[in-house]
Structure 1
Amino acid sequence: MVVENLNRHEVLEDNNNECAEVDLIQCEHRCLNTVGGYRCSCHAGYVLAMDGKRCEKIPGCGGNLTDLEAAFKSPELPVENPYDLDCIWEIIVEEDLQLSLRIALEPWEDNDVCREYVTLRQGSSPDSRELRLCQTGDVPAMYRTHSNVVTVHFRSAPPHTGGFRVEYFTTEKKHPCGGLVTGKFWFFAFSYYLASFYGIKGDWTFTHHHQMSIFKQRLMRKIETFLESSKWEHIMKGARQKDSCYY
């Protein structure tokens, strides 16, 4: 017997493969073998009908979002439906932006076994870091990411009384501390100067043949003037905040 997990449904394959009997089984989307029988399952965005075979599309259950900011919420579901439902939203914005989400579980009944939940995953890889919200106490004040892609997965279980709301917005990605410089980016050169004279860490590789001459001839004069201005105090205040580039 082989046991594997598929969308939190247990799939069992034994010597009797009932799902192979295509003339007898009428599952609209998927047929899952169980011990001594079978059951039907639906794709995300659909819920199994009362007959246990057909799949009914749920309006507002999942989708793709590309706006710079937007809001969405869980769909309304019939409380009498005895089957689980999965809704998946994928938020994708431009690569130079990062996403932040504000989540509210409402209405929501906390459950220790996490039968109903909302998961948040940043990045496009299935192995990306994931946050699962099972109770209202699990919800962060703000879910901040460094990614332009976030996937929101809502699992609703009978009697389908739980719900949620998500608002998201975008900000420009922070420049990393360290990297490969191939053009005349003053921010990177400025970070290189700080690394040399003020102990702020960052390793840079200059590939443009004019980079060092620009740094020596122009940037130092600009920085000397800048260090005497009130803006420098503001930058140093931000540098003291917790960040991967500063200490």
Structure 2
Amino acid sequence: FFSAANYSCGGLLSYISGTLQSPFYPGNYPDNADCVWEIQVTSNFRVTLTFRDIQMQGGRCLSDYVEIYDGPLRTSPLLGKICSGSLHTYTSSSNLMTVHFHSNSRYTYRGFQADYYSVPADQSTS
């Protein structure tokens, strides 16, 4: 029984832009991971997040997945839940976005890598 994992993931990201990825990417991510990143940019800006690469246990994203929330975790609208594909892009309606990565105990894959950056809130998103 392992109580402490030998990796860290998640946390607060408060830079203008950056990259987040699953633990050990591009190696396989660990079992039973739950990582939460809060991306907070300057007020009057929004967060745009683009997934460069995502490869997880497939199907309907029930076992391993990434959830993107439009603000704080759980209390905000879910922008998307994904487990495969590429170049998925999400933009928050405020200066805060939360990303939650979850894996179960069955199979592990390469995981994901995504870039985020801040965009002025007054820019039209059309």
TM-score by length of 2: 0.78
| Structure 1 residues 141 and 159: CA distance shift in structure 2, 3 A | closer
- 107, 110, 124: which one aligns with 2:72: 124
| Structure 1 residues 125 and 119: CA distance shift in structure 2, 3 A | closer
**Residues 16-66 of structure 1, C-alpha deviations (whole Å, 9 max, x = no match):** xxxxxxxxxxxxxxxxxxxxxxxxxxxxxxxxxxx25x222413x111110
- 106, 110, 114: which one aligns with 2:62: 114
C-alpha displacement at 1:144, in angstroms?
1.7
| Structure 1 residues 107 and 122: CA distance shift in structure 2, 3 A | same
Q: Determine helix, strand or coil for the equivalent of 2:5.
A: strand
C-alpha displacement at 1:84, in angstroms?
1.4
C-alpha displacement at 1:129, in angstroms?
0.7
The structure with the largest alpha-carbon Rg is 1
Q: Distance in 2 between matches of 1:64 and 1:55?
A: 20
1:102 paired to 2:50: yes
Q: State the match for 1:155 in structure 2.
A: 102
C-alpha displacement at 1:110, in angstroms?
1.8
Q: State the match for 1:58 in structure 2.
A: 7
C-alpha displacement at 1:87, in angstroms?
0.8
Q: State the match for 2:89 in structure 1.
A: 142
Given that residues 57 and 63 in structure 2 are in contact (C-alpha distance below 8 angstroms), is that contact kept between their aligned partners in structure 1?
no
Percent identity over paired residues: 24
Q: Distance in 1 between matches of 2:103 and 2:116?
A: 21
Q: Greater relative contact order: 1 or 2 (C-alpha under 8 angstroms, separation 6 or more)?
A: 2
C-alpha displacement at 1:116, in angstroms?
0.4
TM-score by length of 1: 0.43
Uncovered stretches (5+) of structure 1, i.e. residues with no partner: 1-50, 176-237, 243-247
Structure 1 counterpart of 2:99, which letter?
A: V
* Richer in helix (by share): 1
C-alpha displacement at 1:162, in angstroms?
4.1
C-alpha displacement at 1:102, in angstroms?
0.4
**Residues 182-212 of structure 1, C-alpha deviations (whole Å, 9 max, x = no match):** xxxxxxxxxxxxxxxxxxxxxxxxxxxxxxx
* Richer in strand (by share): 2
C-alpha displacement at 1:143, in angstroms?
0.9
Structure 2 counterpart of 1:88, which letter?
A: V
Q: Determine helix, strand or coil for the equivalent of 1:56.
A: coil
Given that residues 122 and 149 in structure 1 are in contact (C-alpha distance below 8 angstroms), is that contact kept between their aligned partners in structure 2?
yes
| Structure 1 residues 113 and 66: CA distance shift in structure 2, 3 A | closer
**Residues 53-98 of structure 1, C-alpha deviations (whole Å, 9 max, x = no match):** x222413x1111100011121112897x7x5110111101121111
Q: Distance in 1 between matches of 2:18 and 2:81?
A: 21
Q: How many pairs does the alignment contain?
A: 122
